[in-house]
Amino acid sequence: MPRVTEKFSYWMLVLPALAIMVIFYIVPVLGIWKIAFTEPVTGFGNFEKMAASSAVQTSFIITFRVAAVTTVGCLLLGYIVAYAISNYASRLTPLMVALVILPFWVSVLIRSFSWIVLLGRSGIVNDALRDAGLIEAPLKLMHNEFGVVIAMIHVMLPFAVLPMLTNMRGISGAYVQAARSLGASEWYAFRNVYFPQTMPGVMSGALLVFVLSLGFYVTPALLGGGRVLMISEYITYQIQEFLNWGLGSALSVALLVATALVLLVAARFVNLRATLLDRK
């Protein structure tokens, strides 16, 4: 009887969450798949058209390139921030963590527009460089991949910092101290003792930033100015401008499959479950 009660309680907790998942996620995704294979033609016509389009191929290349560069930039900057908070800012840790989380309280749209103010031809950066006599003509800092990547790193950085910070705070300083006491230099102790223990946090941050960057829309659309056409913006054009629901849905399916493949490839090289749980 207690086992029956326990199972009943378990399913009473699981079923509402499962129902929400099915209604608001699974059903819409299946609807997208249906459109991709049925409109305007039945079968793989939309996918054949997608595969034959050089514009689509270029858009996918740009998407993966921007996502990869954004991930690398976030990992480099995020590791420094997480390391400093974890090891050198013990009294200021709550304040530093709050500053990392603070961007989540501001709309992505507002943050993206702020970069337009900074990087525009008459923006703060160009005006400052011109006033300092370093340039004569404004630099082209936006409506290209440079501007998109800079803004994307700013938006995605907290998603890299938080997993690495959580991981680093769980690492005992005794390991590094033991290495130093045995004669290891500070750099050797960091490279061979501390850094390998932070890899779960690095991997979880990399996966999170890369996957989110693949489907990001607002920042590339604003900073790219239509010249850096990532796949999410291409899908929007197909559906809103050309009312081509079939091709737009096929592109959505392709992006979903590509994201799943990224996760599968990552799972081949790392313990994905342990990485995502950050060794808790």
| DSSP secondary structure code for residue 138 in this structure | -
* In-domain check, residue 10: no
Alpha helix ranges (H) inside the chain: 2-21, 27-38, 45-52, 54-88, 93-101, 108-119, 124-131, 145-169, 174-181, 186-189, 195-197, 199-214, 218-224, 231-236, 245-269, 272-277
* In-domain check, residue 235: yes
Within 8 A by CB and 6+ apart from 38, the residues are 246
Residue 153 domain boundaries? 56-277
* In-domain check, residue 179: yes
Q: What is the CATH number of the domain that holds 108?
A: 1.10.3720.10
User: Each residue's pLDDT tens digit in the chain (280 positions)?
Assistant: 566 677 777 778 888 888 998 998 889 889 989 998 888 777 888 888 888 889 899 999 999 999 999 999 999 999 999 999 988 877 788 888 888 898 888 888 898 899 999 998 888 999 999 888 888 888 898 889 999 999 999 999 999 999 999 999 888 888 888 888 888 888 888 889 899 999 989 998 999 999 999 988 889 988 988 888 899 999 988 888 888 889 899 999 999 998 888 888 887 766 544 444 444 4
How many domains, the chain?
A: 1
pLDDT of residue 107: 87
